[in-house]
Amino acid sequence: MTQGSDVAYSAATRFAKLRGKNGARVNVLGAGLWGVLDAFLFLGFASFVAWNLYLLAMEPLATTLVWTLLLSIGAVNLFGLVLAVRKNKLVYTAIFYFNLVFFSVAPTQQIRNRFDPIFADLDLLQDAVLMVLVWSILCLIGLRFATRPRAWRSAVPPVVTRQRPLPTLWLASASATAIGCLVVGSSLFSDRETAGKIITSQVGQVGGLLFVGAIFPFACYAAIVGMSIAVKGRNPAAQFAFATAIAGSLVLNNFLILSRYQFSVLVFAGVLFLFNSERAGSRILLSLLGVGTIVAPLFNVFRTGTSLYLGNGGFDMFLTTMDYDAFSLLCHTLRHVETSGIDGGWNIVSGILFFVPRNVWPGKNEITPYYLIDTLRAYRGLWNYNLSEPLIAEGFFAWGAVGAVAIAVAFLALVNRLEGPAIEQLSIRGLFRCASPIIVLMVLRGSFMVGMSIIVGHFVAVSLSIWLAKGSSRRSSS
């Protein structure tokens, strides 16, 4: 295992070369403190991937080809993760982290621990692993085209540094938090099912989608923007006021009644927006993602009251749970298309138009796992279709292999647009970029319809927060 890690690190050092600002070739792993820290992170991830592959190789549960493909997936994504971190590409750091956890280590553990009987179909398993490898290579190619120098323009416009938008932002955040708490009522610290029923009864299904998807996160984004302005203006009183506003908004968006990912989006966005730097942003993100993965079981303890469970094998079974079953759902999608054919893209259209009520469009698709429930019930004994469905599986469900490649290319093109060369911090793109790593994790995990609702909701909340900051400044100066 140590020898394999050394070989992988040597290969990354030899091939990780990119063009610098003047065309000079630079070593991505670099030197000095940052290079040492990056090498430590790389070797840590490489050792974990290699250890799980070694354990799988000790049992005759996968063919040599499947094992080799899993090894290739791990190597490609480890290499991509190093590049993304060194280039401070937040979204690509999240993408390669997702690939490592959900498409490299998790499948390796789940195959070895017989998580899903469908893995016994070695031909199907081989096709799924090959599709993941193609996706990983496309991600690496996408990163290559996103390596132009990026300038984070952190200077705040003069009208903003005069602190004029602060009352508006604080009032907007406090009002959104108060209204949200009134709608949720006594179910604020209950559970998702109870809170969902109360919200729907208060404002209806469409209203509930608006509140949870946009108004709830807006309460936090407005406070984050206000805090950034207060910090840059060195206004201690305003900093305290917005600190309380952020705390109140996180109480409203707590993980007991909402998705853990929504809570994580807001926390990560705040940390990255307030503390991001030209060199440390992706490292902060990677560190938080690693810690978040390790402590994630605690969220289930708080939500369900059950004891903390790491499996009989400890970390050898840590990812053998439904939270990390994206690869399993990919296999079930391949089986569904094999037996029932493609959907023709209606799952994509329905996802984009998620906000259209079913009484207006009776033929709108359900989320894709709904159509996989027969095999999920037969193989895994599942009756609830509120499950994940990875992005490439959505593309395959729509148009087969062509759809999987097409949706991957389209997604990476949008990522490259977000990760462009020049970003003003106090802008819609600047703030949304800080929120996007966790949003991207949710989109990649799926389903597509759920991911689209998250993107649109948070984009509206971010846009409104920035508009209030800049709009109130322009009105005050006129």
Q: How far apart are CA 219 and CA 180, in angstroms?
A: 9
pTM of this structure:
0.85
- Grouping H, G, I as helix, E, B as strand and the rest as coil, residue 111 is helix
Q: How far apart are CA 30 and CA 456, in angstroms?
A: 38
Q: Whose CA is closest to 138, among 325, 334, 406, 433? A: 406
Tokens of 348: 């994509």
Q: Whose CA is closest to 97, among 441, 465, 334, 332? A: 441
What lies within 8 Å, CB to CB, of 421 at 6+ separation is: 148, 149, 150, 151
Angle, CA 284 vertex, CA 280 and CA 288 arms, to 5°: 175
What lies within 8 Å, CB to CB, of 319 at 6+ separation is: 101, 105, 106, 109, 110
Residue 338 has pLDDT above 90, yes or no: yes
| Residue 293: C-alpha distances to residues 47, 152, 306 (Å) | 17, 28, 18
Amino acid identity at 53: L
Mean of the pLDDT values across residues 190-209? 81
Q: How far apart are CA 118 and CA 329, in angstroms?
A: 10
Residue 310 has pLDDT above 60, yes or no: no
Mean of the pLDDT values across residues 208-223? 90
Question: Is residue 432 within 8 Å of residue 128, measured between CB atoms?
Answer: no
Q: How far apart are CA 348 and CA 397, in angstroms?
A: 9
Question: Is residue 369 within 8 Å of residue 387, measured between CB atoms?
Answer: yes
Mean of the pLDDT values across residues 389-418? 95
The more confident residue out of 47 and 352 is 352
Instruction: Convert the pLDDT of each residue in 10-28 to its tens digit.
Output: 444 444 444 444 444 444 4
Q: Is 284 exposed, middle or buried (0-12, 13-18, 19+ CB in 10 A)?
A: middle
Q: How far apart are CA 27 and CA 24, in angstroms?
A: 10
Dihedral, 404, 407, 409, 410 alpha carbons, nearest 10: 170
What is the percentage of the chain residues whose pLDDT exceeds 70? 81
What is the sign of the dihedral through the CA atoms of 382, 387, 392 and 398? positive
Instruction: Convert the pLDDT of each residue in 151-196 to its tens digit.
Output: 555 544 554 555 678 899 999 999 999 999 998 888 888 888 888 8
What lies within 8 Å, CB to CB, of 377 at 6+ separation is: 383
Residue 277 has pLDDT above 70, yes or no: no
Instruction: Convert the pLDDT of each residue in 231-256 to its tens digit.
Output: 888 889 999 999 999 999 999 998 88
Question: Is residue 302 within 8 Å of residue 255, measured between CB atoms?
Answer: yes
Amino acid identity at 467: W
Tokens of 388: 């994940």
pLDDT score for 276: 65
pLDDT score for 9: 41
Q: How far apart are CA 53 and CA 68, in angstroms?
A: 9
**Bond from prior residue into 447 cis (ω within 30 degrees of 0):** yes
- Grouping H, G, I as helix, E, B as strand and the rest as coil, residue 19 is strand
Mean of the pLDDT values across residues 34-62? 76
Residue 225 has pLDDT above 60, yes or no: yes
pLDDT score for 279: 63
Tokens of 120: 């016994």
pLDDT score for 442: 92
Q: How far apart are CA 323 and CA 319, in angstroms?
A: 8
pLDDT score for 12: 44
